[in-house]
Structures are given as C-alpha cells and as structure tokens.
Chains A and B, each alone.
Chain A
C-alpha cells in the first residue's frame, strides 16, 4: 500500500503518530475482528506535505483519494457519486494528540441530485433522501465553509443558495470536489488560530500534523431492521458489571447522542435482533479487555447487520469510578497501581459527601420540587436576603439561600450557603452553572411563591433529585472504613502516595488554617518558617490537589486530615505527574 493512503482493514495498524488517535482506535477494532464501516486514512505526512506545498493537494494525494474511495466502493458494493447504490462518506480530522481547533466531522458527503434520487429509490422514501441531502449541505456549510445558517431545516437547494449569497462560495455539486474541499479544510485546520495557540500552550510540535480519516456511512435509518444505539460494557452510573445500553430503531447516530428522541432499553434490540445483540455484547467484552477499561460504544444496525462506529473509555459517576477500578483490578485486567490512577481525589470527595438515607427521605414532607441542578444535599434555615445569608453563615449557622432569580451580586451568598433554591431557571441557568462550579447542592425552577413559602423555615435541599424537604433531615456519611472497596483502594494508594495521611496524631502539627494559609502558593513558605519539613501539617489547603502537591514539594511527609483517602489520591496523582510514570503514560495512550 502506498504510504499516502492507509486502509483501515485491520491488516496493519500503524502508530498513532502516523494515522491519528481516532483512526488508530478504528484500526484496533478491525484488528480484533470487529465489524466497522470500511475506512481509509491519509496519514499525517500528507498534512506536512500539503503545507510545504503552500496548501495544495499533490498528485500522489489525489491518487491516494482515488485508491481509498475505490477500496470503500469494493467493500460496500456502492459507488461514490453513483446513480445506483450511492456511497456516502464521512471526513474527519485525526491528530495524534487531541486538540481544539481541528475541523469537526462532515457527514453524508458525496451528494448531488442524482445521488439523492438514487437514495430515494433505494430507501423507498423521497423524504428520507431529501432530508439526508439537507443534513449534508447544512453540515458541509457549517463545518467546511464556516457559514452561519439561521435555519438548517430548509431544503438542500435553498441552503445552497443562502451559503452562496452569504460567502460568495458554494457547497460543491460534484462529490469529488466535496471530498477534496473537506480534506483541504481538515489539513488547513491544523494551522487554525485555536489549534496553533493550544499547541504553543501545551508544547506540542507544530510539525506533527493531522491525519484525515474517510469512512463509509452506514444508515440506521434505512429500511427495516435498522437502528442506532450506545452500549456501555458495564453500567457507568453504578459500576454494576451488567452491560447497559440504549437502542433507537430507525435512528441515525446523532439522534441517540443528542437526546432528541427517547431511545429504548437494550432489551428491545435483544428482542428484535437476538443475533446482533449477542454479537454486540461479545464485542463489548472483547473491547473492554483490549482497552482494560469500561467502554462506551456507538453502534449502528443497517438492515440487520452490526457496525461499531466508535469506542472510548466511558465517563463514570464517582460511585462507579471506585467500584470499576477495584473490580477491574480484582479481575486482573489492571494492576492495583492502575486502579489508584483511575480514581481522582475529587471523585472520592464527592462520594464521601454526606447524603440522605432513603428511609429519612421517605418519611419527610416535600415543600417544593424543581429541576435538579447541582447534586448533593444541604440543610439549613432558608433565607432570601443575600447579605443576611453571608452574615449568618459567617457566624457558623447553616443557611440555605432561596431566591427568585440570581444575579452576579448573589454569588457571595451562594458561596456562603449550604445549598441554593431558586424559583425560576432550568438546569442550564447562571445559578446552576455557579452552583455546580462551587459544588453547592441546588434545586432550580421551583415556581412562583417558593421564596415566600420557604423563608425562615428549616429545610433540606436534595440537589440530586430536585426536592426541598421540610426540616433538617439527618445527613449520613459513607463510612470509608466500612466499605470494602474504599478500604482496599485506600490500602493500595497508601503504598503509592509517598506520604502518610492520618486522621489524628499526638505529635506536633503545623495547622495551616490557624496560620491563615489558604493558597497553595503560600504553603512552602509556611513550612519553611516552621523550621523543618518533617513536621506534620493540617488545614483545608492541604485537602486540595494543588495544596497537597505544594506540601510534598516543600518536604512534608505527613498530613493530618479527617478523610485520608482523597488526600492520598491527590498525593499519588502528584507523584505520578512528577515522575511522568509509565502508568500514566499508558493510560493516556489508551484514553
């Protein structure tokens, strides 16, 4: 195969440096024998040559595109720009290291009027073909041409007219021209302002270059027995080993992710297509083992045939993070040191936050309900006056801030309160963004009259469910010592942290809170003033990641904290970062 065009058929897996992270992941899937839509890559050297040539596709690259498309045509039995069984493709960027500023994916590329007719005949729906054409024009206009379209639901030809009027440039009619322009846009985006700035900040070399991946489209919305979905190899909310998935019959990939439609539980797939369901679960197990982590897999079924579109390590809840790390270590998929690296101090801190007991919750009177905007539970006296909230909180009284709306002026009250409740706004309001930023429990949009009803009362705010309860309900902590997984995680991290963290000590302790040391930058001087780095320290600053790092650099080897586990995890993370340990590098590579 020419070094200008790499086929992702699993026969070879070049390095990430050559084909970029996304294509590398696709190649790995094919190598495992898993079904993915056929694809080829223009490697990163194409990017370097393109810019060296002043932004021109050279003849070898044109040839590579022809070779690659011919491969996709052979694999799919379709023709690019064909009047029968047309081939549509996606074009995406793929740098060896993820960075902002790179061109987004263009989908459904390869359209002209004849292709639309052919697609209509094949799908038995002119409407479907017209809609796919419209999606292509809108996507190409926004991503490649950077047009600003007000209404993307207009017909394709109308969108083309608007783009031409706005930019004096059109969405090409010729599929090959569409492909060339999209490829040039990907290569050009390597030198976008944002990508250049990011590389400068992050010390990524400017000549690394991006690869371009071209992949055949598959359609979850074509005909019977088609659909699209997402599968997690284990439950990312609870950490339960049972796979968790959603399936949308007749849907396209975006539909599930965007949340525009309500998908069905995975059991529906098992009922409709038992063989596909079994194949999918087997693939999930294989990928989980290969990546040594829980996978979040996007898939499409086209006329009863399964295609895996993408796999990545799943995002997870704090609870799941602990359970998955310990379980995977128990199963031998990862080492205890890996498990420690998989759980952040912040996740454990959230997990250890006090919570409501289900029986207390069941017995409590509900005063108001709204949207859950920021998780966690807070109790206190409800007050509507921001200044009063700040004053009484400063006296050590637990207070809840209730407001009709919140403005920047109220932020100091939100900082001081144990929780926040508003009458208006949704989970994407300014108040919600501020409360999540603070880790402050919040229920928003409780409706008119809530402030009046609650002010002066003792209340409990449950930001996870969006409920305001009457009275000060008891908050219960998870006992880290009583939880088997937390206890084992703690024993593993204690070996990696390089420092000792204890809940109490009879020896001398340097109390940084008493000294007024709250910034990580002040820790070193405070420790030096105390005369010896060997002394134990305590204080809120050494319960933050930066503070722990600063203390360790200052020679501290012993920290006193009410909850040792998050501090130990922060210390271990600091140590890994300092050592640039192989574990961290391997996790990054597989991320």
Chain B
C-alpha cells in the first residue's frame, strides 16, 4: 500500500488522530506520516483541525478501492487466512473474558466487578496472559505477511504489562491504549486487510 493510503487506513482504524498517533499505529516515522497527511489534505482525502485528522468520504472511497489490489496476495495466502481464523476464535474467548473482568456472574444475574477481590482479578489476568501467549504466534504469522502488524504485538504486550502492574484501566479501559482498545483496532485492521465483514 502507498504511504498516503496507509495513512488513510491508520486514520480509519483509529478514527481521527494526530500524525504522532497514526505513526504509532502504523509503525512509521512521524515526518513521513506528516508529509502523507499534507498530501491527503491537498487532495481532499482527509480533513484536519488543530493537528487532528479525519478521513473524508472521498478518502474512504479511495481507501476501499485500494484494498483488493494492495492485499491481493495476502488474501490468497492460506497461512494468513487460517491464522486470522484462529484469531477469531481467541477473539470470542477474549471478549468473554473481558466481560468477566467488568461484571461478575452472581446469583443468576451479574454485578459490576468492584475489584475488591484480588483472587478474582488475578485469575482473570492469568487467563488474559494465557490468551496473550496464544495470540503471539498468530500475530507472528500475520506480521510475516504484513510486517507493520508487528506493532500490535508490542502494543498488546505493553498493555498487558501495565495491567499486570496493577493499572486496571489497561485491561478494558476505553480512553487509554488498553488491551481491548489495541485488540479492537487490530481486529478492525485484519478485517480490512482480508476484506472480511464484521460479525458484530
């Protein structure tokens, strides 16, 4: 993919962002991203205000048109598609686990997890660690085909380390680069690379 389209892709996965944020998502140098954003501004593919950029409808159309060719080879690679299938299996387990982190099944209903029971939380963190370790080889396969995906492995590992270090927000918090925030973006990225439709 061309850098301009890649930057559009980063903006769509992240929804709006600064050059710095998009560079981090894509694993590119910031000056390179900044230059591509300036080009895209000139062609009307992105709109920007106060250093934050968003894709325009024209930019989206251009991006959607670019995917099939840019990832033609990847889409036919069965090692990639079967790795993505395994990712979907882990995705379901991860979302069920994050649900148990947020709310605890209790007495036929659920109650919000107030994080007062370290044994409960640690058991969830343990399972998260197991899922993380099972995801690593899958991401290695995917990054073999699309090297920039390696960034997600680093971001997920960083989120897990912070969660393990007691920063609860880094499990499923929305306003930080939590495990779920990164995972959600990775999932979106994969769906776009492979031209698959989101099931939920």
The chain A residues found within 8 Å of chain B, CB to CB, are 21, 97-102, 104, 148, 194, 197-198, 201-202, 232, 235-237, 244, 246, 259, 296, 312-318, 320-321, 344, 346-347, 350, 375, 405, 407-412, 414-415, 422, 424-434, 436-438, 444-445, 591
Contact = CB atoms under 8 A, between A and B. Distances in A.
A159 to B, nearest CB: 19
Contact of A98 (B103, B119, B174): B119
Given A21-B119, A425-B200, A430-B187, 9 more contacts: A97-B118, A318-B111, A344-B114, A344-B116, A375-B112, A409-B13, A414-B174, A432-B99, A436-B172
Given A100-B122, A411-B174, A424-B200, A237 B106 contact: yes
Contacts of B15: 408-412
B126 A194 contact: yes
A428 B92 contact: yes
B184 interface: yes
Contact of A315 (B113, B118, B164): B113
A488 B173 CA distance: 33
Contacts of B166: 201-202
Instruction: Across the A-B interface, give the 6 residue pairs with the lowest CB-CB distance, nearest first.
Output: A425-B200, A409-B15, A201-B165, A429-B200, A437-B174, A98-B119
Contacts of A21: 119
B114 A591 contact: no
B191 to A, nearest CB: 8
Nearest to B172: A437
Contact of A314 (B92, B106, B108, B199): B106
B107 A235 contact: yes
B155 to A, nearest CB: 13
Interface size class of B (residues with CB under 8 A): 35 or more
Interface string B1-25: 0000000000011111000000000
B188 interface: yes
A253 to B, nearest CB: 15
Nearest to B99: A428
Contacts of B107: 232, 235-237, 244, 246
Main secondary structure of the interface of A (DSSP, over half): mixed
A313 B117 contact: yes
B109 interface: yes
Nearest to A21: B119
A425 B99 CA distance: 13
A243 B175 CA distance: 40
A202 B121 CA distance: 14
Nearest to B95: A428
Contacts of A428: 92, 95-96, 98-99
B95 A407 contact: no
Nearest to A412: B15
A436 B16 CA distance: 23
Given A201-B164, A244-B107, A428-B99, A591 B118 contact: yes
